[in-house]
Structures are given as structure tokens and as C-alpha cells.
A and B are shown apart, each in its own frame.
Chain A
Amino acid sequence: MTDWWVGIAPAEITVPCGGEDHRVRWEQGRVIACDHGDVEDERTLATLGATPFACIELVAAWERRRHDLRVLVVGPRGGSDEIHVDPDDPRAGGVRSARRRRRRGGGGFVGSFATSSGGGQLVGSRFSHSPDSEPDDVADLIALVGLGSGFGERLVATAAAEWTKRLRDGGPEVAEALPRLQAALYGRVFAALRSWLGDPASSLELEMTGAAHPRSLTRVQGAVHAQLPFAWLLDVWSRDLTTVQGRFCLDAEPRKTADGEHWELETVAPDLRTTERIELRIRPVAGA
């Protein structure tokens, strides 16, 4: 099975930490404090010295949210949806200059939100070790999804990966989570559709199907009817593949080959009848 993060480009922000600008990097499904050693060691040191490291707190806050369903509610939808973090608001989590790049409305592809560095900056992290009140907890979450440079999208992807797995494996928590999962899928499919079709008045009927069910997008009596699994969030949305070459992407299957990543996309044209397959290949630039 392919790792869930394949195709999602690395991203990086700078974080003022201990009087210096440090790099925090998202790569292969993990957030890494590039200028620190082992996170647990650093946290122990910080506790002893009573000086928390912003980078370390950010990484810890990220890890706490991997399974948090509210990430799917609060996090970005794509399209015209934008996160605003008010730098003067104490709930802003200390994020001052974080800017979330607006995602492209159509024709996006892997890496379109992959600002490699410097897109966001964190001043004086206030990510709590363990938020002990609901407002603090939500403020932490908002600060994370508002980090900028595609970190919000990657946090959604992280939570989507976790819940795709739980849906596949089953478990007592899945039934309770279903309305949130369905709404998370609905909002992002709808955002993509409105942007793709250029019709803000369009309406969507979404049926969240099982992973093996055929995926489809049709028009039924004026409304767009979608049959998609929750995994679409991970397979397609997380990789910024919602629309490719003017087509809506229903599925994206990655394959590792000797010369890079190879993708097969199942798409539907704006007439909502014509389905086509698109093949994409990502290869490292020689000598880079």
C-alpha cells in the first residue's frame, strides 16, 4: 500500500524560537523541528529550564491533533475558503504573519501549495502543552490551521488519513464520527465543485460511499449528485488534485516507479457525463 503522504509536497515555515529563526518542515506526513534534536528530549530540557521552545511546542501541538475530528471542521476547505488569523487576537495562538496562500480554483496539481520556505512565521508560540480549557484548546487548533504555507491543508490531510484508516478498520468510534466525516467530505467536494463549475448557486447531493463503491459525479434534476468515499479527501483533495485539466477528479491512484511517481486520475468533464483517465508523472529534475 502506498504511504498516504505520497504526492503531497514538502512545506516549510520559519518560527522565531529561542531568539533565532528556526525552520519547521512538513515532510512525509510528519512535522519536524529542523533546528532541534529529539522532541521529547527538548521538551524535557524546556521543562527544566522553564523556557518552552516554540518549534517543539508546535510539533507537539500538531501531534495532538492527528486524530482530532475538529481539524476537519475548522481546517481549510480549499477553493475560495480562506483562514484568517488576527495577529492582535489573543486567540490567534501567537501567529503574527502567517498567511495562507489561496489555492487555485482549477487546474491545480501536486505541489501547487508547496511554498518551500518563508511563507509563514510564528512569533512566540502559545501552543499549550495540554490546553486545560475549551477556548485555549480551540485557539490552539485555529493557530495550527492558520499557520500558512499549506500547513493547514496538511493537517487536514493528516486527520483525513487517520480517519480513512479507522473507517477501513472499523471501530466503536467510527459510528459517532460519521456525521463529522460526511460533513468534512461534503464541504470540500462542494467547495471544489463551486469553484470548478463557476456556479456559486449550485447545489450538491453527496452520498458518502464505501471505499470500494464506484465513484461518480452526475447531474440529477439540476443538482449535482456525487457518490464518493471519505477517502476522496485523502486521495484527491489532500493532493490538490480536485480539478485537473478542467476536469473534476474522482480518484487518484499513485504508483511508485523507477523513474518517479506515476498517477492515474479518474476524472469527469464539466458536462458531468464524460469520464476520462489522465496520467501524470512526477520526476525529480536531473541534477537538482
Chain B
Amino acid sequence: MPPFDAELYLRRLGEHTVLGVTDEQPGFSSGLNDAATALVAVEVITLDRARAVLADYAAAEAARDANGRFLMARLSAREPAITPMPPAVPRIVALGDELAVAGWSVRLRYVALDAERTEISAIYTSHAGTGRANRRLGRAGVPGPLRSPVVGDDRGTTSTLDFQGGGSDDRWEGMLTADQPLAIETAWIELFDRRIELVDVPVEAEIEIEPLESIDLAHRHLWRRVALGGRHFTQNALGPATAALIASGSLAADDPAIELAQRVSERVPGAFPHRGTSGSVRNAPEPWRSLLKRAGRGDGPDGLVVVGAVTTKFDGHFAAVYCLESGASGFSVEAAVSPPDVERHPGNLDLEDRSLVWWARDDRGNRYLGQWSGSHRHDEAIKTGTLGFSPALDPLARRLDVLPTGLTARAVISFPLRWNGHAA
């Protein structure tokens, strides 16, 4: 048998995409991307060579399909070499105030202030309750008084806020961003004709950097794929990566990890596409076993914890955790990372597989897995946004470690769960 030729393998996959042999959505080539990423990860093809193959087939798709043009534009845009930068930690103050405004209940969750920006996290709930739940992004459906309120501080600065978020006709959740920043040290803010005192609580986070246990490249890649989420528009999320690893000889075709990873991926809480299955998987390794143990639970506590911690450099990254908010079915973490993680959307490409996997663990042995669910701001070097974690936080947990995990090391951002404010 001739030696494995990774470039030829990818090019044959590319031919299948052009000819419509695969079940991929035309133009996104996600199977080809996954295979290329897997082969780069196990070091049987260089990054440049893999990128050249993808660029070739993006051009081929661009000649056949509008989505291909979208992909080609992404591949053509040379990614700048990003120097990791530590994210700034703003002053974050938990609010927990609940106001009545124009027939709506306004719950203010927290305010974040730094030299460049003032942001207030808010949830609007209609008293009328239309029951319509058409999700949308932006602010078109947000009632006028809540869309652009004015905020002031103790130095006399006033600023207009702009709401950006998502929701339904009777519930909106998002971020109010000031058109000019308020004073960082302000003792209060005024919003909706109410003065809200800003009471700081001491940050108690501890940060450590830990090297990861050595694991062979193929298994590491396989489980990272499970953790980072399935591909859109397909039910066989791991198929192309697994097939490439087997073809390259990096993984035995009968390796039990293949089936195990597939079964775990179908049960990861919060994964997309959702398959409606949950529960444990026999023989699942840790941390997956502990993750699946609480899948489907809806007993998470309501509340907010201000964290405000930024790591030193680990595995080529800086990471920051600003605050955590918990609800019945899961919890979210406002966080930042540099270089930016790549979100798993069609057409997005993380050929270098450099995105962090955001694990968390509590003091009761439970594990949680986070996925990016949107960015508040995203500059070239730093991504700031919300990580949605599943399953629901154990109500008996008293301490949480957020574990942004790279290829060779992870950070441990550990903090007590001292709740501020409560959900409506």
C-alpha cells in the first residue's frame, strides 16, 4: 500500500464536495475543513499546505455556489499574526435591581466600567406577556423607552445607552452600551430615574496554570472535537475528522474511543445540533462521565457572582472571567480570550485548532462545558463575550473552577460562589 498522502486525501474529499458526493451543505466544506484540521493536528500535513488545499476548493465552490464565495472570502483574507494580549479587567459591580419602566420589568444584572466603555447587562420582561417567542437579534422589537435610555454618574457625565441583544416579544436579554464611558470610580449611576448605588465586593479568585497530561495527538483531537461542538447541518459530527485520522494511520479503525466519542458527542448537554438525548454513556472517560451525570437537570441556583480575574499567559493564550450568572437550566460566564477563540459556525475555520475548550468543575465533583454564545466586542486580538455552560450548576456547589483549556496547558480560575442578586 502506498504511503498516506494527506494532501491527496484532502483533495479527493474536495472533489467529492465539488461533485456533491457528500451530504455537506454546498459552499461550507465543513467536512473538508474538519478533515484538514484533524490532519494538521496529527502533524501529517503542514498548516500552509492544508490551507492551500482549502483555498483551492473554496475557489472551486465559489465558481459553483454563492456560499462558496463566502467561504473563499474568508480563506482569502489572510489572518494576521495575532500577538496575545491580556484582556483588561473592568470594574464589575453586581446590581440585582429590578425596576418598572413603561409596563416592563427591567432587571439590571451588572455594570462593567473601564476607561473605554460602560456596559450594563439587563433583562426586560413585559408585564403583558404576549407569549410570542420569535427569537431575533438586535433591538428592533425592544420598546422605545428601553432601547436608548440615558445613564449618568456622580461626576455629572451622562451618556446614551444602546441596547443590543436577543429575545421575544415579551422578554429581551442583552447589553446596554454607553456612547461615552462613565467614570470608572463612580459611586452610583442613574438610570430610568433611579439612583443605583455601586457597591464593590472583593474579588476572591485564585488563578493557577497547569500543564495537561500528555495524550496522543489523535485522541486529543478527537475529544477536543467533541468538546468544541458538532458541525452544523450534519448528524455525523465527528465523521470526517475520524475518517481522516483513520486513513492517516493516526487512529486504528477499531479504536473504542471512536464509538465512545460519537456517543458522548450525541449527549453533550447544550451541544448543537441537539439530538434530544441525554444521560450517561457507559465507559465514558472523565471529565465526560461527570459532565453527563447532571445532564438535563433544571435545579441550578439563580444569582450572579462577580469574578474579575485574568490569567497569565498559558498555551499561547490569555483568558479572563468577569462574572458568572446562574439560572435553572445552566449558567453563563462573561469572559474574554486572546487570541480570540473561533466559534463553531459554518464557514468558520480553526485550522490550527487553537481555540480553548472551556471546562468548569465544582467542589462536588461535577463538570460543566461552555460554548461561546456571542461576542459583545471582538477586536483583532481579544474576544469578549458570553459562554453558555451546561448542565445546570449543582445548587449545593460552593466553589467553581473555570478551566480554559488549551492543547498543552490550562488555567484554573477558582472562586467561591457568593451570590449577588437574584433572577426574577
Residues of A within 8 A of B (CB): 70, 73-74, 77, 79-86, 89, 91, 134-135, 138, 141-142, 145-146, 178-180, 182-183, 186-187, 190-191, 194, 200
A194 and B59 form a contact (CB under 8 A): no
Query: Closest CB of chain B to A140's CB: distance in Å?
Result: 11
In whole angstroms, what is the CA distance A85 to B66 when docked? 9
Contacts of A86 in B (CB 8 A): 66, 69
B393 at the interface (CB under 8 A from A): no
Shortest beta-carbon distance, A177 to chain B, in Å?
A: 11
| B20 contacts across to A, CB distance below 8 A | 80
Cα distance A141–B76 in the bound complex, in angstroms: 14
- Bound CA span A138–B57, Å: 11
B12 to A135, Cβ gap below 8 A? Answer: no
Which residues of B, 1-34, contact A by the 8 Å Cβ criterion?
Answer: 5, 7-8, 11-12, 14-15, 18-21
Q: Is the CB of A179 within 8 A of B8?
A: yes
Among A73, A85, A138, A145, the residue within 8 A (CB) of B76 is: A138
Which residues from chain B contact A194 at a C-beta distance below 8 Å? 19
Query: Is B56 positioned at the interface, with any CB of A under 8 Å from its CB?
Result: yes
Instruction: Across the A-B interface, give the 10 residue pairs with the lowest CB-CB distance, nearest first.
Output: A183-B11, A187-B15, A179-B7, A179-B8, A73-B56, A142-B63, A138-B59, A135-B76, A74-B60, A134-B76
Q: List 22 A-B contacts (CB under 8 A).
A: A73-B11, A73-B14, A77-B15, A80-B20, A81-B64, A83-B63, A84-B63, A85-B63, A86-B66, A86-B69, A91-B62, A91-B69, A135-B73, A145-B63, A146-B63, A179-B7, A179-B11, A182-B8, A183-B8, A183-B15, A190-B15, A190-B19
Min CB gap A29→B, angstroms: 23
Minimal Cβ-Cβ distance residue in A for B53 = A179
Contact yes or no, A70 B15, CB < 8 A: no
Cβ–Cβ contact B12 & A183, under 8 A:
yes
Q: Across the interface, do B19 and A74 meet the contact criterion of CB distance under 8 Å? A: no
- B72 at the A/B interface (Cβ < 8 Å)? yes
Q: Are A84 and B64 in contact (CB under 8 A)?
A: yes
Chain B contact residue count (CB 8 A cutoff): 25
B65 interface contact, C-beta 8 A: yes
Given A70-B59, A74-B59, A182-B11: 15 more A-B contacts, CB < 8 Å: A70-B56, A73-B11, A73-B59, A81-B18, A81-B19, A83-B64, A84-B63, A142-B59, A145-B63, A146-B63, A179-B8, A183-B8, A186-B11, A190-B21, A191-B19
What is the CA–CA distance of A84 and B69 in the complex, to the nearest angstrom? 11
Closest to A203 in B: B21
Known: A135-B76, A179-B7, A183-B8. A82 touches B69 (CB 8 A): no
Please indicate the chain B residues that have their CB under 8 angstroms from the CB of A79 in the complex. 19
Contacts of A77 in B (CB 8 A): 15, 18-19
Name the distance in Å between A101's Cβ and chain B's nearest Cβ.
16
**Please, which residue of chain B has its CB at the minimum distance from the CB of A144?**
B63
Provide the bound-state CA to CA distance between A54 and B353, in Å: 44
By the criterion CB–CB under 8 Å, are B8 and A89 in contact?
Answer: no
CB distance from B67 to the nearest CB of A (A): 12
**CA distance in complex: A85, B14 (Å):** 20
B228 to chain A, nearest CB (A): 28
Known contacts A182-B8, A183-B15, A190-B15; decide if A200 and B63 are in contact (CB<8 Å).
Answer: no
Complex Cα spacing A179 to B57, Å: 13
Q: How many Å lie between the Cα of A138 and that of B62 in the bound state?
A: 9
One of A89, A182, A183 near B69 (C-beta < 8 A):
A89
**A75 vs chain B, min Cβ distance (A):** 8
User: In the complex, what residue of chain A is closest to B13 when comparing beta carbons?
Assistant: A183
CA distance A190 to B17 in the complex (A): 12
Query: In the complex the two chains form, what is the Cα distance from A178 to B11 in whole Å?
Result: 11
A145 to B59, CA, bound (A): 11
A51 to B12, CA, bound (A): 43
What residues on A are CB-neighbors of B55 within 8 Å? 134
A142's nearest neighbour on chain B, judged by CB, is B63
Neighbouring A residues of B72 by C-beta, 8 Å? 135, 138
In the complex, A79→B20 CA distance in Å?
12
* Chain B CB within 10 A, most for which of A83, A84, A187: A187
Contacts of B57 in A (CB 8 A): 73
CB-CB under 8 A from A191, the residues of chain B are 19
Give complex CA distance A83, B69 in Å. Answer: 13
Distance between Cα atoms of A79 and B55 in the complex (Å): 24
- CB <8 Å contact, A73 and B60: yes
| Residues of B close to A134: CB separation below 8 A | 55, 76
Please, how many angstroms separate the alpha-carbon atoms of A186 and B19 in the complex? Answer: 11
Q: How far is the CB of B65 from chain A (nearest CB, A)?
A: 7
Q: Which of B11, B19, B59, B69 contacts A180 (CB 8 A)?
A: B11
Residues of chain B within 8 A of A70, CB atoms compared: 56, 59
Which residues of B (23-79) have their CB < 8 Å from a CB of A?
Answer: 55-57, 59-60, 62-66, 69, 72-73, 76
